Structure 1
Amino acid sequence: MTASDLTDAPLTAGPAFLALPDLASRALAGAVVHADDEFFAEKENLLLPGAPIFDPTLFGHKGKIYDGWETRRRRTPGEDSATVRLGVPGVVRGVVVDTAFFRGNYPPEVALDGAWVEGYPDAAELAAAPWRPLVPPSPAQGDALNTYEVADEAPVTHVRLRMIPDGGIARLRVHGLPTPDPRFLAGTVDLAAAENGGRIVDCSDLFYSSPANIIGPGRSRNMGEGWENARRRDNGNDHVTVALAGAGTVDHVEIDTSYYVGNAPGSASLRGIRSAEDLDRPEAWIELVPRTRLQPDCRHRYLVEPGAEPVQFVRVDVFPDGGIARLRVNGRLTAEALDALAARIPRA
């Protein structure tokens, strides 16, 4: 695998963009802020975590209850839409429109628009926003994961999902490259955090749960909210590589094994590297935290020796396997990295 393959390769089967974070995730504070119609099922269901569920016996006063967003049957020309504020602004690379369990009531076509709107606009201000197409009107299948790649290179803060003309959609996932506001990244921040622009670019094993969990916000609440691999039966070890928000100097690191009691790693280490071109060169990696013993169900914190050069990628190795709940890489972005982030932000 080459360095370019590593930074673009999907961690699961399907389109490459599925490896990128879901910018609309509720875990990152994404929200559905407006819908033209939600007669049968609430708009908020679009961003619920996890797969949709279906109970064939469940009915309410308005009819069948679906785990998704469903509008009434349209009797006039037009279409229905829902507007989502992304949890983290970013460049959208692909969209998943999940119509699970919507078989006779799914929209035959869907579309997605995007806009960059500063601040915290209300519904009227969003309606007047400079929307542009990210996914043009495209065919959709019922009871299916409909995926659409996006070629637009400009970041957005909001997306507008359009059903043409009406129907039901279970879930919306908006995968892309985070573009956080660098004004909030000055000083010491968690360079690996997804909400600050960090993302997973490689993982040796994700049998039980996704490595994306370790850079999520907050503390994990159970073992299912971290990264856990399968039990190793060879002489290797498991690892995860994270692209940081930008190049930065690391001050201190947290490796949290909370809730991993009988399945925590025996030890771990953390290394860093400056550029993607060197990802395949083991000799180019620098040591940030040497291999050290870990305790089960414990929040480990390590100071990094001052004077280390800036890094843009870090790799945590666990020996030989085992789960970790969170990885925090606290440090400061370089002036060049902050300038590069600022250059990506649209300004009026």
Structure 2
Amino acid sequence: MTSYEYLTGYADYDTADLDLPFTRLVDLADRRLGAGVICANDELFAERENLLLPTPALFQPHTFGRKGQLMDGWETRRRRGTDTAHPHPGADEHDWAVIRLGLPGVIRGIVVDTAHFRGNSPQQISVEALELPGTPGPRELLAAGADWREIVPRSAVRSHAANGFAVADQGRWTHLRLKQYPDGGIARLRVHGESRPDQEWLAALGTFDLAALEHGGCVDDASDRFFSPPVNLILPGRSREMGEGWENRRRRDGGHDWVRLRLAGRGLIRAVEIDTGNYVGNAAGWAALHGFDASTGADPADPATAAQWFELIPRTRLQPDSVHRLRPAGDARPLTHARLDVFPDGGIARLRLHGSLVRLG
């Protein structure tokens, strides 16, 4: 069972395209990160905003509104051609929605999820991308001179399925335009990639959370992802429930769990927050934090460089459902990566590494 099958809970849900590495990367279009659907040409049956809901699409049969069955997704009316003798839509007719990414970045793959749209999904989709600074509105995004670039060519999609598409283009993007041919319903859109924030903005901030997803931090690797993904550690805001943190399985081998982070840039850490919020009986017992400076070209994942990791926070007892505010010991040292070790296992809701960027050299 794949993670998408687990989330939907439907045995007949088609996830054939999702044995792809990009699905482990953060969803740059997550509504919780500030993403939004700016505009769409049609949303008669179901609202465009549903595309970016972080929860799996749901279906309740025989729940009818004035316009028909209520669907958890974006659904447009049926297109009709103008030729009365041949009333089917032309090959180029399509519906579209424009999405603002919550985090600008490089897109590695896209999932177009048609869950529960069994007889009313589109036949094909395509995706275009645009980089536009600031906070543009529909007028700027739909202007004739807007430099949209196709990153997913027109491709067939299956009904009631998670359709995955790898993206080869390495550009940095702020907005997407999802097209569906000729019409129909799409439940969710997931845009997996790597955050690339505005570096001038980060420099202007001064002191900020170097690990935060919104600032360009990311999870490089982790020992365990059984109950929930480690990227939850660096999401904005506090967790609202246990499933919104990072929780690993119970260890029975005498070892411990860990997560390795790549920071927004090379910086100095001045204050650390380890939050075990909502973990009452299954919080990690102890935690330690180490740093690594990869600016010299050393690989933090290479066992041969293990001695280059240095201690920021020694092994420290943690309390359940609490925020622990800690100061690194000794003189501050520049780092590009951090590793959180938890002993022996357990849940951590959030990790904050407050500091500032330093210039190379």
TM-score by length of 1: 0.90
Alignment of 1:1-348 (within 5 A): 14-76=19-81, 77=90, 78-128=93-143, 129-186=146-203, 187-275=206-294, 277-281=299-303, 282-305=306-329, 307-336=331-360
- C-alpha distance in 2 between matches for 1:22 and 1:259: 24
- Superposed CA RMSD in Å reads 1.4
Q: Determine if contact 1:204/1:240 at 8 Å carries over to the other structure.
A: yes
Instruction: State the Cα distance separating 1:183 from its structure 2 match.
Output: 2.1
Which aligned segments of 4 or more residues in structure 1 are displaced greater than 6 angstroms?
Answer: none
Q: Determine if contact 1:19/1:201 at 8 Å carries over to the other structure.
A: no
Instruction: State the Cα distance separating 1:238 from its structure 2 match.
Output: 1.0
For these two proteins, the number of residue pairs brought into alignment is 325
Instruction: State the Cα distance separating 1:215 from its structure 2 match.
Output: 0.3
Give the secondary structure class of the aligned counterpart of 1:117.
coil
Call closer, same or farther: CA 1:306–1:87 in 2, change over 3 Å: farther
Radius of gyration: which is bigger? 2
Give the secondary structure class of the aligned counterpart of 2:299.
helix
Counterpart of 1:214, as a letter, is L
Give the secondary structure class of the aligned counterpart of 2:26.
coil
Counterpart of 2:229, as a letter, is S
Call closer, same or farther: CA 1:197–1:125 in 2, change over 3 Å: same
Q: Determine if contact 1:251/1:306 at 8 Å carries over to the other structure.
A: no
Give the secondary structure class of the aligned counterpart of 1:277.
coil
Aligned residue number for residue 341 of structure 1: none
Flag structure 2 segments of 5+ consecutive residues without an equivalent. Answer: 1-17, 82-89
**Percentage identity across aligned positions?**
54
Deviates more, 1:36-45 or 1:52-61: 52-61
- C-alpha distance in 2 between matches for 1:261 and 1:278: 33
Deviates more, 1:273-282 or 1:57-66: 273-282
Give the secondary structure class of the aligned counterpart of 2:347.
coil
- C-alpha distance in 2 between matches for 1:141 and 1:306: 57
Instruction: State the Cα distance separating 1:306 from its structure 2 match.
Output: 5.3
Deviations 1:76-110 (A, max 9, x none): 34100000001111111110000111111111111
Q: Determine if contact 1:232/1:321 at 8 Å carries over to the other structure.
A: yes
Give the secondary structure class of the aligned counterpart of 2:78.
coil
Flag structure 1 segments of 5+ consecutive residues without an equivalent. Answer: 1-12, 338-348
Counterpart of 2:249, as a letter, is A
